[in-house]
Structure 1
């Protein structure tokens, strides 16, 4: 049933995305990644339907690092987005699945790693990308602003994530048919100065583009192969289940 439902979601979102594109002028094709003074290397992770953005803790500012409060020896921070009812409350009924197609409360999944992401999620699922100073600062701001704050300015926690080393945080954005976890990731990458197209509903939409950009950057000598990784508190982190999308 889940496979049939996911296929229906794919058809619905594809139709909606195509309809939206048909009503707007065609955007210019993303240009080849320009040679930039590299300030940081970030990682984009594909987990089934879902995508995350990861950065090293030393490249995160104090505001972003505070989102991993309570986790020790953090070397990498990964962030993703999802529908709150479906992910946090683990309400997997058909009604909740259908409600995920309309705007609803969002959630940010923060995952703390003790090493780079490739071993945690599989090297074949991780693409490293170089960004400049301005892109790094805009990415930091995007991540800081993605999380809802309490009266004291702290992130509003919604509990532990699906595995050790993760936490759910209340998101400022709403989840909907046209603003999925992958749209959120694409927004983060555009804030980082990377030339992603405006429409990115599915993980494949994001990963196809970042693989192209990563290949161009490797040819330009901007990035090297990423080392292996290990998630906090686990030999290997399970990939995000489809229910996290």
Structure 2
């Protein structure tokens, strides 16, 4: 191949890579900027008195719900999985959804294996991860504080419950798959795929709670940015409640 032909080949490769990058940027921007739902028929004066948290790492998000008597009663089945709901330091129940293979086999980045990663890009059985948490600093970089009303909190709790697969005896736990003493895995409804995965589940739960997310938020930073973009009213409500 001549020098000129080689330069033309490199130019074509660069152009294709650039077009692919621009397409990904455009898709991400579209997914963040387009709200879902397009509108929300909530009374403008609804009191957003409950603060929930979205916890994120580079690839995954969880929803932290503050404990109250109703939450403890409805999620009492966690006791059967060995979780100490009577711990006096308990402040939140934290829930996340994901692919069974990757989620249960990768408690830390050091445990990352090729097979679970590849499975996450096809179809995998899904699981719910439930974890007990104490006080969580709301100003931590990985924490997003959101304010919802009574109806939103009720719908969010029901969304998590509806995400669990059910047997005659209730939710189905996965003994031995937990990371430690304060968490447990359960069979979940649906199948996991990296394009419609844990962060789109989190977004769906937040929409049930009355919040607005982006149309498609496959990564935590996309979800956080869309929440910030579309929920100015709720951030204002949260700031008011923090001063009361």
Where structure 2 has 5 or more consecutive residues not aligned to the other structure, the ranges are 1-19
Query: Which 4+ stretches in 1 moved above 6 angstroms?
Result: none
Q: Secondary structure at the match of 1:173?
A: strand
Partner residue in 2 for 1:187: 204
Partner residue in 1 for 2:7: none
Partner residue in 1 for 2:64: 54
**Paired residues of 1:139 and 1:189 also in contact (CA < 8 A):** yes
Residue 176 of structure 1 and its aligned partner are, at CA, apart by: 0.6
Structure 1 pair 155–38 and aligned structure 2 pair: CA distance change class (3 A): farther
Q: 1:88 aligns with which of 104, 110, 126?
A: 104
What is the distance in 1 between the residues matched to 2:165 and 2:201? 15
Q: Which has the larger radius of gyration?
A: 2
Q: Secondary structure at the match of 1:209?
A: helix
Partner residue in 2 for 1:114: 134
Deviations 1:79-132 (A, max 9, x none): 1122111221458443432221122101111110132x228xx71111111111
Aligned pair 1:104/2:104, yes or no? no
Partner residue in 1 for 2:95: 79
Structure 1 pair 222–124 and aligned structure 2 pair: CA distance change class (3 A): same
Deviations 1:172-223 (A, max 9, x none): 1211132211011001101111011221100111111234466643434444
Q: How does 1:40-51 map to 2 (within 5 A)?
A: 40-51=50-61
Structure 1 pair 78–141 and aligned structure 2 pair: CA distance change class (3 A): same
More helix by share: 2
Aligned pair 1:206/2:223, yes or no? yes
Aligned length: 207
Residue 30 of structure 1 and its aligned partner are, at CA, apart by: 5.8
Q: How does 1:2-21 map to 2 (within 5 A)?
A: 18=27
Partner residue in 2 for 1:142: 159
Where structure 1 has 5 or more consecutive residues not aligned to the other structure, the ranges are 1-10, 226-245
**Paired residues of 2:164 and 2:171 also in contact (CA < 8 A):** no
Q: Secondary structure at the match of 1:123?
A: coil
**Paired residues of 2:122 and 2:193 also in contact (CA < 8 A):** yes
Structure 1 range deviating more: 59-68 or 127-136: 59-68
What is the distance in 2 between the residues matched to 1:98 and 1:160? 20
